[in-house]
Amino acid sequence: MQIHSAILAGGKNSRYDGMNKAFILVEGKRIIDRNIKVLKSLFPQISIVTNQADQFIDYADYPMSSDYFKEIGPLAGIHSALKNTTADAVFISSCDMPFLNSDIIKPLIEASNQNKFQAIIPRWNKNIEPLHAIYHRDLFPILDKYIRNNENRSVRVFLKTIECVYIDFSEAKLGNAFTNINRPRDLEVLFSRRLRR
């Protein structure tokens, strides 16, 4: 099975003073650059889903697409990634997660080769992370119909309507892999914790 990767970078970023969160510096590097480095080691192609392509001039080597459905959140980003891929499936990640870890992504890839699925979602305790997950291209028409016919565009609500494979992780193994930066305060808290360790 061929799997490509897509970075969702199309949010409003209203909680980060309008700055695109993909460009936040973490330990001296943009989040998007940190993520591309990890994803390149795992996937033959990385694309960027953004409604602000003019901000990504430095990333012109990567295929880009924008949301067909505007203003509905990350479900539109997943829709765009699936609509525009030529692969069997797409690993979706959010641009505000600075600590992507190949050791967490690899079990999802392995599961994609062993299971029939529409989505492969990481899970720990009773929590899931749908923006660090693999979605099959065959899901596209189902997702398209769902968005057109439902007012609730929550990714988590949509996942309840499809065939998901859940891969369980311990919190110890996950570490910071699912940490996301939504506001400047999140970055301050993250690094104050790291300094105390």
- Contact residues for 41 (Cβ-Cβ < 8 A; gap 6+): 102
**Per-residue pLDDT at 19:** 75
**Per-residue pLDDT at 64:** 96
Q: Measure the CA–CA gap between 86 and 88, rounded to whole angstroms.
A: 7
12 pLDDT band, cuts 50/70/90, is: low
Q: Which of 3-7, 15-19, 87-91, 171-175 has the lowest mean pLDDT?
A: 15-19
| pLDDT over threshold 60, residue 193 | no
| pLDDT over threshold 90, residue 15 | no
**Per-residue pLDDT at 20:** 85
**Per-residue pLDDT at 186:** 64
Domain boundaries, the chain: 3-196
| pLDDT over threshold 80, residue 163 | yes
CB-CB neighbours of 53 under 10 Å: 16
Summarised one tens digit per residue, pLDDT across range 75-102 is 999 999 999 999 999 999 999 999 999 9
| pLDDT over threshold 60, residue 195 | no
- As beta bridge partners, residue 65 has 49
Number of separate helices (H) and strands (E) present in the chain: 7, 10
Summarised one tens digit per residue, pLDDT across range 22-38 is 999 998 999 999 999 99
Please check whether residue 129 is in contact with residue 122, taking contact to mean a CB–CB distance below 8 angstroms: yes
- The correct answer on CATH 3.90.550.10 for the domain covering 3-196 is yes
122 pLDDT band, cuts 50/70/90, is: very high
**Per-residue pLDDT at 197:** 44
| pLDDT over threshold 70, residue 189 | no
Q: Which of 3-17, 74-88, 100-114 has the lowest mean pLDDT?
A: 3-17
| pLDDT over threshold 60, residue 119 | yes
